[in-house]
Chains A and B, each alone.
Chain A
């Protein structure tokens, strides 16, 4: 029996060799593209740490964590991150108090009650709510929501954390609703059918079978919502005032970590000034807060994961 090679003309074989070596080169190129993600993560960590090192050479960690004032641009500067952290946590809390109940209810409604047609029409529309540019939401908070709130809370200042917090809440409803709904739809049909067969109503099935079954996915949705709220910048930069203020009262004006970074970036700072270094320190804290929530969420989802 003749070997198959004798039937392949010489130039075809050369061509096959060329095609195979081309494949290897391309595979390497594709791998490099995949590595961009790793490169970005590593550079974020490196840049945040190396650029904030000079800051921590000037400011002790103790002052950074315990001082009640954040006034890096003043003549007698104070570098206590607490006011910025408080601002961030308050706006996030307000946002979550609105977004988590609303988002979850919408998700349950869309997944368990709405018809297929309604769901397919409503979901893209709802996702548009998350596509609105954040600076537009900032305008919305400053020019519409705050004046509206002032009708009910007469002493509310023009810049406050309540308005922006609520607007951030509106902004993250679609994330929470959409991801939770995906998680609920992933719960197998037979579990619902089992529940219905026992005589449970839709609401009972939703709250006692579907939601517990989808809990890990729902938790992941909440975590993404929290990350969004913590990192949200423009809404607070526009509508919360830019005064660092150590308070837990949402009706006051304050600055968040993100708003401070924007405020400093707006001025033209020299590369080696303490102001320039301080935004990297602030960014590092922001990253750590996000990381803590994500790790917490990861542990929670592990614990609640149900295997069917």
Chain B
């Protein structure tokens, strides 16, 4: 302090104060400019989303109608619809959930509640983290080599469901782990004190209490899976499917049928890709309409996820 005073002693103190003031004002101006810059970029990004959505709706508007959802694809753009696509998407998602949910939650429970701290556990953890960064088309190649040819599942709903389940597994595991970790320790200790085994503590307390977070992760994962195109193309899904898979619920005994798992199929994003890559502009209208439907599906799922997270957060107070 005294040293700096000495070095500036020949300058009148008012000048020093003025200079400091000026510099401060300049820096505050930079602050304000940065706020404007940040808000502009943020606003522009969100505006892009709005423009994208509105443009799809505007371009696809002529096709919206009942027929679009109940017609099969057709060579005639006006008559083409997304029936086989949205049914295929629903069935593939069903297969994906059936695999991703049990495996993902079980893996998360193992890593959080059971795993000892050793190199073996560390390897599993590193694998989960790294899988999140693997490009989706690589999963497609894995599925093509493993499910389609080695396991001979063919180009079926089962192959697609398994592929997408593996793809979203890291998302489900990470989200479930976070939810499980948020359950306080004393809840577990109370259950142990009453003589519960580890599995009883997990199944009766930890998992039910973290179900909100687990559900959120699962929905986010599915919203990712629903839009995935590349891995499904790689396993060889066809774009032109003019029939529906066997319905999973039949009217005769045993009521449940699993033949749909081995049926050929198409899904929404593939249908859209097929239309978008045709030179005929009439099909671009179909592509826009299919894109709008797909986008609504994705955004709705994300909306549900945000709502579920919000509800569970509000309900819980440890």
Contacts and interface: CB of A to CB of B under 8 A. Distances in A.
Contacts of A37: 107, 124, 127-128, 131, 169-170, 173
A31 B108 CA distance: 10
A305 interface: no
B191 interface: no
A279 interface: yes
B106 A135 contact: no
Contact of A133 (B31, B145, B169, B294): B294
Contact of A132 (B49, B102, B234, B287): B49
Interface string A122-149: 1011111101111111111011100000
A144 to B, nearest CB: 6
A248 to B, nearest CB: 22
Nearest to A113: B35
A273 B37 CA distance: 54
A143 B42 contact: no
Name A's interface SS.
helix
A227 B127 CA distance: 16
Given A38-B124, A40-B169, A290-B134, A133 B269 contact: yes
Interface string A270-299: 010000000110010011001000100000
B133 interface: yes
A47 B229 CA distance: 21
Contacts of A30: 106-107, 109-110, 114
B52 interface: yes
A58 to B, nearest CB: 18
Interface residues of B, number: 87
B27 interface: yes
Given A41-B131, A131-B224, A23 B198 contact: yes
Interface stretch (A62-70, A79-87, A186-194, A257-265): A257-265
Interface string B283-318: 010011001001100110010001000000000000
Contact of A201 (B28, B52, B227): B28
B264 interface: no
Interface in B97-150: 102-104, 106-107, 109-111, 114-115, 123-124, 127-128, 130-142, 144-146, 149
Interface residues of A, number: 84
A142 B276 contact: yes
A26 B272 CA distance: 43
A196 to B, nearest CB: 12
A234 B229 contact: yes
Contacts of A109: 34-35, 37-39, 41-42
A164 to B, nearest CB: 13
Contacts of A154: none
A134 B49 CA distance: 13
Contact of A134 (B45, B133, B144, B229): B229
Interface in B80-105: 102-104
A144 B55 contact: yes
B56 A233 contact: no
Interface string A33-45: 1111110110110
A283 B36 CA distance: 43
Interface in B210-236: 220, 223-224, 226-230, 233-236
A287 B133 CA distance: 10
B46 interface: yes
Contacts of A268: 236
B276 A138 contact: yes
Contacts of B35: 109, 113
B166 interface: yes
A29 interface: yes
A37 B41 CA distance: 38
B45 A126 contact: yes
B233 A227 contact: no
Contact of A33 (B107, B235, B291): B107
B127 A290 contact: no
A279 B234 CA distance: 10
A19 interface: yes
23 contacts: A33-B104, A33-B106, A37-B107, A37-B169, A47-B141, A105-B38, A106-B38, A106-B41, A109-B34, A113-B38, A128-B302, A129-B46, A131-B223, A133-B294, A135-B291, A136-B272, A143-B55, A144-B52, A201-B28, A227-B135, A233-B137, A283-B138, A286-B135
Leading 9 A-B pairs by shortest Cβ distance:
A231-B135, A133-B227, A109-B38, A33-B106, A30-B110, A47-B145, A233-B230, A37-B127, A34-B110
Given A135-B272, A136-B227, A203-B27, 11 more contacts: A35-B124, A122-B42, A122-B46, A129-B48, A133-B227, A136-B295, A143-B284, A143-B288, A203-B34, A271-B149, A286-B137
